[in-house]
């Protein structure tokens, strides 16, 4: 699978892991469609990279289809990287009572249903394209989290939604094998995302020291580096890779 001259969709591409991935694709000679609800930031990054921005709520079929249609107009769609997601922090039962059901449903809807929505639409389009070397037509990379395995206090919604993304990886890869489309998932640890970078420096330093090695927060470009390796290595399929510096999250 080559990045050069091919088109890739990145959801949540306006910032953080998604923005780094969009940059990586462009630097490797690919074309990128940035799909995000952050219209101003997404449009600015797309203009900078010579890509295209499409405002997209990943949970909506029409929005997802509009993104795929835009990608097909740019050229040969070969990949989808799903970085869109939310990370609520609410206990199952807290001081104010039980976890609000709508907050749980929102996390699952965006992190899981939204991921699946984009996967099914992009896979349908890629499966109709001419196969490349080894019969490959496309690659899907989803984003889980170490919370899928080491969910902390207050992460019932986030952890379960990300565990579901990891659990979807193998069956989806098997579903799409006959179409020549691979499916992989990256489970990042503690990374320099906009949410974390908004915390005080001492808090970020403390979080970084929890990582065995290297003892720091992960950088978005390191996520993008792994995404690039996954895209280019045809034997990587049906697996979730932890990208976490060997951290195993404590309860809190």
Catalytic residue positions, numbered: 158
For residue 3, give every residue at least 6 positions away whose Cβ sits within 8 Å of its Cβ, in sequence order, or none. 25, 28, 29, 30, 79, 228, 231, 232
Q: Which residue has the tokens 């249903």?
A: 113
Sign of torsion over alpha carbons 132, 134, 137, 142: negative
Residue 86: helix, strand or coil by DSSP? Answer: coil
Sign of torsion over alpha carbons 33, 34, 35, 40: negative
Distances (CA, A) of 217 to 13, 29, 124, 207, 247: 20, 28, 36, 7, 11
Spatial contact of 232 and 184, defined as CB atoms under 8 Å apart: no
């Amino acid at each position: 699978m080559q990045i050069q001259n091919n088109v890739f969709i990145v959801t949540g591409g306006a910032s953080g892991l998604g923005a780094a991935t969009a940059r990586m694709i462009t630097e490797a000679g690919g074309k990128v469609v940035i799909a995000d609800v952050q219209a101003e930031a997404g449009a600015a990054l797309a203009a900078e990279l010579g890509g295209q921005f499409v405002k997209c709520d990943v949970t909506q079929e029409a929005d997802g289809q509009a993104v795929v249609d835009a990608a097909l107009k740019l050229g040969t769609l070969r990949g989808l990287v799903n970085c869109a997601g939310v990370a609520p922090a609410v206990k199952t039962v807290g001081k104010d009572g039980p976890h609000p059901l709508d907050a749980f449903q929102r996390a699952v809807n965006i992190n899981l249903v939204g991921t699946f929505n984009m996967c099914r639409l992009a896979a349908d389009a890629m499966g109709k394209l001419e196969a490349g070397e080894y019969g490959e037509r496309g690659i899907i990379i989803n984003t889980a989290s170490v919370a899928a395995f080491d969910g902390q206090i207050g992460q019932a919604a986030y952890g379960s939604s990300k565990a579901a993304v990891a659990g979807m990886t193998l069956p989806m890869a098997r579903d799409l094998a006959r179409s020549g489309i691979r499916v992989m998932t990256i489970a990042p640890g503690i990374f320099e995302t906009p949410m974390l970078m908004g915390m005080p420096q001492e808090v970020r330093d403390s979080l970084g020291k929890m990582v065995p090695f290297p003892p720091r927060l992960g950088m978005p470009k390191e996520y993008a580096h792994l995404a690039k390796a996954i895209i280019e290595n045809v034997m990587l399929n049906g697996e979730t890779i932890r990208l976490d510096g060997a951290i195993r999250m404590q309860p809190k």
